[in-house]
Structure 1
Amino acid sequence: MTEEFHRIRRLPPYVFAEVNKAKAAARHRGEDIIDLGMGNPDSAPPPHVVQKLVETVADPRAHGYSVSKGIPGLRKALAGYYARRFGVKLDPETEVVATLGSKEGLANLSAAITSPGDTILVPNPSYPIHQFGFIIAGASVRSIPAHPGEDMLRALDRAVRHSVPKPTALIVNFPSNPTAFLADLDFYKELVAFARREDIWILSDLAYAEIYFGSNVPPSILQVDGAKDVAVEFTSLSKTYSMAGWRMGFAAGNPRLINALTRIKSYLDYGAFTPIQVAAVAALNGPQDCVEQMRTLYRERRDVLIRGLSAAGWEVPSPEGSMFAWAPIPERFAHLGSVEFSKLLLARAGVAVAPGLGFGEYGEGFVRIGLVENTQRLRQATRNIKAFLHNNNAGPGLSDVVHLEKA
């Protein structure tokens, strides 16, 4: 009885745990930590959505078991959003299911469609559930490039020709977490054509669809003709309406995949708390000026962060979407790796970031910086980082980090 359980053995140590432990210790010592490590929105949900939640909670009838696949009005609201935003028609009965956030939906669909030993194609780096949802379900994962372009398409072709068994599913995520890459409709057309030709499912994570900062408006893969033959897409209210803790998401698209997810969920949950579902309807059907305000907020934060880091001597690409910057580690610190650099940044600058290694082996050499503090705190963070970088022109060694941990 001393051996670790089989599925747990397939999960590596949680990379973020080291930085989280150091962050907790620093706060315990009373240090002011500016936490840019977690994608946790700091703004309040729209007032009309909160009010609808409060009203519904006051109804005694709203406290029983809910509907696992989502109340009818919620599924209709999500279909209405797709019609307005993407020009995509969805059947609320057969092509939409509500989920407890997109993460739960991805994990449960992975379990529903995976047989032990299946090969799944996943971008690297990517959000951990994209890979580990399938690993937990017993699949083997083959990494492909994360950028939406020719390299990814060539890698997909090689994977089909050289993987045994042949891949059964592909994950994509644009705007992406952590890299902030965006895909256009032409790329999705090539992806759908590939999947239809090779008989491969596509699971698209569109959680950051509404966080974009330029003229490149993120499309849905379901806009492509024939996409519903092979694809399902996950969306979420977490970032769009600052409702992360409400755990309200959706899957939409291929009826067979939606039915598989709906069926497995029927054994596992009774759906989100009904007042949350009702409030989610108010979010999707109500005034949408709050979404533009959210977008403006993140754009302002992005600009403050990127300008401040540049002034500090750290050149970081300006993201066109998502709520993250994907930052290459400054060259003189590259030998430390992303975990030790993140710990050093925490200790010397009081700024927490997410090490790129936590998103896959090809995330090494980067850190993810979240736009999850107000502009005043972001300016303070970049000032702290500037002082840290200027005081470490010689570049520290790994022993400096170890010494700091022991202090």
Structure 2
Amino acid sequence: MKAVPSRNVQQMPPYLFSNLNRKKETLKRQGVDMIDLGIGDPDLPTPPFIIDQLIKELNHPDNFKYSTFNGCPEFRHAVSEFYLKHFHVKIDKDKEVQTLIGSKEGIAHLVQAMIDPDDIVLIPDPSYPVYKMAVHLAGGKAYPVRLDPDNDFKPDLESIPHEILQKAKLAFLNYPSNPTGATVNIDFFEKAVAFFKKHGIYIAHDSAYNLVTFGNYQAPSILQVDGAKDIAVEFGSLSKAFNMTGWRIGYLVGNEEMIKTLLTVKSNLDSCQFLPIQKAAAIALKSDLSFLKERNAVYERRGQVMRQALRNIGIETNPLKGSIFLWAKVPGSMTSGAFCERLLEEAGVVVTPGTAFGKNGEGYFRVSLSVPDKRLEEAAKRIKQFL
């Protein structure tokens, strides 16, 4: 008997990187030397002190039992300490922290926990595709809020129609941004909190790249705004912050009721992350973060190398202050999709079309800095030859 997917799944476009991976595998089998600047998976290793802690935790039999649903006390306490030390924000480790199996999982479950069918969720456009897909699976309606290139890829909140604001229940924000690499200062969050509080809309801020910043820039937390906890939560992840993508560990902090609502869903659907991973992640967050200086310098140098190489062939990119991505303009008159597909097939360079992140991504492509400098330089050469 053939399995029949639900209408929701039938109407859901495949996850972008699933299709991309299939194309890459086909070209690999054909012997093509590919340079993959598509997916944001750090090539740099997890710091050894975190791995050492994981090994230590694996020697304790009690760590092979179930975790508590909201995460082990050591990890929640570490998140609370991190927020106090790094952002000067007090977080109640028992009521205002939820451990996640990576922030991607948490985003999907939070939407499921909070919205009813036909509720509206405000989604930045362009943005991380999981926001939109989570709303689709929950039966809600995603309303795209354009990120204006002339306003440093920040949304014009006042332009959202009144009738949409009346029906919206949740809004996503994401800075440093994936895919645009845009950053904001605390004054943006102050305006956003005031605006959404006025309209009775909850905020979910995705802060996955909060520790991947360059120069003198330090990414703020939305929870630094007075009264933000009344309506806001913030997602954090160790994936990009500590080069731990495969470990699948993150957290949600902020509004107690939103945390409690998410826990209701998660406690029925999963049993939290493996305890040794949680406890090793706690050591990461409690560290002095000194390794970040050297690690971020690597990304900053790569960004400068690639920006200059692209500029030399007439391709403009965003300034680099945070994240591991460059947001570049498609040259000539090709669409984002056509440019990226031809670049893959004719030059063996993988980049992501801007339209993968929303309608307003047309005319752009995203470059990941998760390969060594020499491969970035080689990619720029191939792009030049292709053009």
Q: Distance in 2 between matches of 1:221 and 1:93?
A: 20
Establish whether residue 305 from structure 1 lines up as the match of residue 300 from structure 2. Answer: no
Displacement after TM superposition at 1:129 (Å): 1.0
Distance 1:19 1:62, change over 3 A: closer
Q: Secondary structure at the match of 1:168?
A: strand
Residue in 2 aligned with 1:134?
135
Quote the sequence identity (%): 38
Q: Distance in 2 between matches of 1:219 and 1:180?
A: 15
Q: Distance in 1 between matches of 2:216 and 2:290?
A: 18
Q: Distance in 2 between matches of 1:151 and 1:163?
A: 21
Displacement after TM superposition at 1:172 (Å): 0.3
CA offsets 1:49-81 (integer angstroms, 9 cap, x no match):
000101111222221212221101110100111
Q: Secondary structure at the match of 2:79?
A: helix
Residue in 1 aligned with 2:9?
8
Displacement after TM superposition at 1:151 (Å): 9.1
Q: Is the 8 A contact 1:16 1:358 kept in 2?
A: no
Residue in 2 aligned with 1:46?
47
Alignment of 1:7-406 (within 5 A): 7-147=8-148, 154=156, 156-159=157-160, 161-163=162-164, 166-331=167-332, 334-335=333-334, 337-389=335-387
Paired AA for residue 382 in structure 1:
A
Distance 1:107 1:18, change over 3 A: closer
Displacement after TM superposition at 1:243 (Å): 0.3
Q: Is the 8 A contact 2:147 2:155 kept in 1?
A: no
Q: Distance in 1 between matches of 2:19 and 2:109?
A: 28
Q: Is the 8 A contact 2:124 2:155 kept in 1?
A: no
Displacement after TM superposition at 1:376 (Å): 1.5
CA offsets 1:108-133 (integer angstroms, 9 cap, x no match):
01000010010111111100111111
Q: Distance in 1 between matches of 2:145 and 2:246?
A: 31
Displacement after TM superposition at 1:145 (Å): 1.6
Paired AA for residue 194 in structure 2:
A
Displacement after TM superposition at 1:270 (Å): 1.1
Q: Distance in 2 between matches of 1:266 and 1:83?
A: 27
Q: Is the 8 A contact 2:340 2:351 kept in 1?
A: yes
Q: Distance in 2 between matches of 1:6 and 1:329?
A: 35
Residue in 2 aligned with 1:401?
none
Paired AA for residue 215 in structure 2:
G
Residue in 2 aligned with 1:397?
none
CA offsets 1:320-346 (integer angstroms, 9 cap, x no match):
211000111012xx33x2222112111
Decide which structure has the larger Cα Rg and report it.
1
Aligned-residue CA RMSD (Å): 1.9
Q: Is the 8 A contact 1:99 1:249 kept in 2?
A: yes
Displacement after TM superposition at 1:158 (Å): 4.5
Q: Distance in 2 between matches of 1:314 and 1:240?
A: 28
Q: Distance in 2 between matches of 1:34 and 1:151?
A: 28
Q: Is the 8 A contact 1:173 1:206 kept in 2?
A: yes
Distance 1:99 1:339, change over 3 A: same
Displacement after TM superposition at 1:150 (Å): 10
Q: Is the 8 A contact 2:237 2:249 kept in 1?
A: yes
Q: Is the 8 A contact 1:16 1:355 kept in 2?
A: no
Q: Distance in 2 between matches of 1:100 and 1:18?
A: 24
Q: Secondary structure at the match of 2:218?
A: coil
Aligned length: 385
Distance 1:46 1:114, change over 3 A: same
Q: Is the 8 A contact 2:206 2:236 kept in 1?
A: yes
Distance 1:13 1:268, change over 3 A: closer
The normalised TM-score by structure 2 is 0.95
The normalised TM-score by structure 1 is 0.90
Segments of 5+ residues of structure 2 without an aligned counterpart are none
Distance 1:324 1:65, change over 3 A: same
Paired AA for residue 31 in structure 2:
G
CA offsets 1:242-273 (integer angstroms, 9 cap, x no match):
00000000000000001111121111111111
Distance 1:14 1:108, change over 3 A: closer
Q: Distance in 1 between matches of 2:48 and 2:128?
A: 30
